[in-house]
Amino acid sequence: MVVPSPGHRAFLRSICALAAVALLAPCRAAEYTQKNISSAPGYKLLPGVASVPAPIAVAPDQDWWGIDGEWNTFSLLVGQPQRNVRVGVSTASQQIWTVNYQACIQNVTDGTGKIVEYNKLNSDCETSRGFVYNQTASQSWRGKGYYRLWIEKWLGYPGNGLFGFDTVGLGQAGEKGPSVQNTTVGTMVSTYFWTGHIGLHPKPTNFSVFEDAVPSYMTSLFQQKSIPSLSFGYTAGSRYRNNIVQSSLTLGGYDASRIVRNDLTFIFAPDNERDLVVGVVGLTANTSTKQNIDLLRQKDLNMFIDSTIAEMWLPVEICKAFEDTFGLKYDNKSNLYLVDDVLHQTLLAQNPSVTFTLGQKYSTDATMQISLPYAAFDLQASPPYRGLQQKTRYFPIRQGANSSQWVLGKTFLQEAYLTVDWERQNFSVSAIDWTFGKPQELIPIISPEYAQYEAPRHPKKPLTSGAVIGVALGTGFTAALILVAVGWWFWRRRHKRKVEEIKARYEAEVAAAAAAKKATPEAPDEPPTSPIQESESGTGIFPKAELPGESAPHHELSTNPKEKDPMSINEADNTERQIFEMPGCIPERQEADGRQLSEKESMVVRERIYNGVDPNTPDASPTVQEAPRRLGPISPSEVTMVNGRLPGNANVSPITPRTPRDGAFLESSDTFFQLPPYRPRQDGRPAEDTLLSPISPLEGSADSSRRRFSYES
């Protein structure tokens, strides 16, 4: 990866400054300068680390676009010359996606149907899709080929994309953020994904089994030292809130000013295509007439948080509960819950709110709640979304056939803030703090490669009387024990001496007697053995018993280098074991991890059940088939390996069922873009135009003036 060295940049800057002074001319658009911080709350930098990159707040654009609702976008600069595109955020994808210009070209015809202009860009389409990217116009583009889009395939989203490598910077001209050269860019035309996105997942992309895995955008940012860790904080923004609350995206940390803190930390599910999974332990609705209506008609509801899509995909029974409660009507053609004006007025009058109670039963009893007002569900869908012919209100829940389709999309993230630490494999979901005008408060999350958690220094609390008594008793007891032991030792020594004296005397007498009688009776007069000695040679009071087999993954957390030399371990043994541990942090986490790992195994089993895999199948042990997710501190290289080389995965051909779960894989396709995405289908869906049919004017200016890249001060 070619990154200008700090020295090089400094040189450029000084040239620039000189030029500015000399010519009194404004310099070229401000280049991005890396900011580092030398301390972070809650972390202790490792020896030799003087500073770490500051987290980056990526400023949202000032506009709201989409055909499945209105969503805030973020700006990217792609290619050379740089081209500004506006994209969403995908927590599931690991790549940058842009809309290919092919999605918006058309042949212009005159009244008679004669083509008067070929392949003209439709500017409405272009604007609506967040500007298109013309890879042929970029000098830095290196084409790779056509590959399946892959993500959201569980939801039945088809399509392929033209993939390649190019330079992608965050921000836009004048407000540039860090930039990654030669990163994976997927360009697509599919209307299932209306805008491109910034993929936040750190798993690498494998274009084929024969090629090296290509690092994700996040991994590249981290490796070039632009962000302090593989982590992010994100909320989708909520236009319906009075002040038009914007989206917020922080890389390498989160924005504490946007959240209401809670104590619940979720741990990743073991599937790297479905890792941000939360348990829904309660789902209730309040309306103006009825409170606490139970909508949770499904046990063990686990939902995947994914910002790529707009809607919530819920089990059919729960959708039916929504229908019953709110009078929603399912539209068989579009598979959406379309809301007409009458229903809309009824809903406004009912003023419903829906509350999700989230937890993770197998790891904690803690729960937290996210409540969505009706406004969060009051979205507009525009053609060509799902074959609609006109702009229509819809209620953004979808019927999910099975657990692989249960997803909480952006609708949910309007009212929830998601913080994910990919390296420590945990995440949190927080309610949004709606306080207006709070200044941004970026809190860094520092990679275990740079720092370890600082044990909170508890001031020495005065001991409670119980503790005092305990300590006194303990001390007294110990003293008594010592006294007893010392006394016993002295007694034993004296006793032994006495015994020896007696023995000597006896032997002397015996010898005398023998001399007299010519006979010596052998007397067994061993000194008395202590009862403690006896039991020590017995079964053992303090057994160093090995934990049963399931504890095997815990071994990797061992801190004893002799016990486990990462280099000496056979690769076939367990891929995870090749991984180097970061020093520190480990001992205190060991116990907790042990607990969590076994809980995660139950999760694995659960997943297997949901995925229709019989857990009793021979060799289907989760520890063999699934990568045990590691919870301890790990380095980004480990993350790459964990995600890129799942045990049991590495030697599997791409057509076995295991491989698709890797998510990093892309299947090449020989065909050009699959056009049009909305073909007439057997189920009678209308044919559609891939090109944007005229939609009502988009609000928000395409040319935003207020943009800012901010860093932790």
Ligand X SMILES: *[C@@H]1O[C@H](CO)[C@@H](O)[C@H](O)[C@H]1NC(C)=O
Query: Which chain residues interact with ligand X by CB under 6 A?
Result: 6, 34, 36, 49, 51-53, 101, 105-107, 115, 118-119, 121, 134, 136-137, 142, 165, 182, 206, 209, 212-214, 225, 265, 286, 291-292, 332, 353, 355, 371, 401-402, 404-405, 419, 421, 424, 426-428, 450, 611-612, 644-645, 649-650, 659, 662, 665
- Give the shortest CB-365-to-ligand X separation in angstroms: 16
Nearer to ligand X, 7 or 538 (CB): 7
- Sorted by sequence, the CB contacts under 8 Å of residue 322 that are 6+ apart come out as 295, 314, 328, 337, 395, 397
Nearer to ligand X, 233 or 237 (CB): 233
Judge whether 386 and 334 are in contact, CB under 8 Å.
yes
Helices (H), 111-233: 123-128, 217-223
Nearer residue to ligand X within complex by CB, 47 or 521: 47
Minimum distance of ligand X from residue 623's CB (angstroms):
19
Give whichever of 371 and 558 is closer to ligand X, judged by the CB atom.
371
For the record, the structure tokens of 176 come out as 């540039």
Q: Which is nearer to ligand X, 34 or 704 (CB)?
A: 34
Supply the minimum distance, in Å, between the C-beta of residue 66 and ligand X: 23
71 or 665: CB nearest ligand X: 665
| Distance of closest approach, residue 154 Cβ to ligand X, in angstroms | 7
Amino acid at the residue 51: S
Contact by Cβ (8 Å): 445, 228: yes
The contacts of residue 477 (CB under 8 Å, 6+ apart) are none
Residue closer to ligand X (CB basis): 64 or 130:
130
- The minimum distance between CB 22 and ligand X, in angstroms, equals 27
CB of 630 to ligand X, least distance (A): 13
Q: Which lies closer to ligand X via its Cβ, residue 696 or residue 713?
A: 713
- Asked if residues 478 and 70 have their Cβ atoms less than 8 Å apart, the reply is no
Residue 473 CB burial class (10 angstroms; 0-12, 13-18, ≥19): exposed
Identity of the residue, 71 or 577, whose beta carbon is nearer to ligand X in the bound complex: 577
- For residue 700, the minimal CB distance to ligand X (Å) is 24
Cβ of residue 489: shortest distance to ligand X, in angstroms?
48
The least CB distance from residue 275 to ligand X, in Å, is: 13
Are residues 258 and 615 in contact, defined by beta-carbon separation less than 8 angstroms? Answer: no
Measured CA to CA, the distance from residue 125 to residue 208 in angstroms comes to: 33
Question: By three-state DSSP, how is residue 597 classified?
Answer: helix
Phi and psi for 512 in degrees, rounded to 5? -65, -45
Q: Which of 519, 501, 498 is nearest to 510 (CA)?
A: 519
State the residue for tokens 């959201």. Answer: 152
**Of 128, 124, 130, 125, residue with least CA distance to 60:** 130
Do β-strands 426-432 and 266-267 pair in parallel, antiparallel, or remain unpaired? antiparallel
User: Cβ distance 305 to 429 under 8 Å?
Assistant: yes
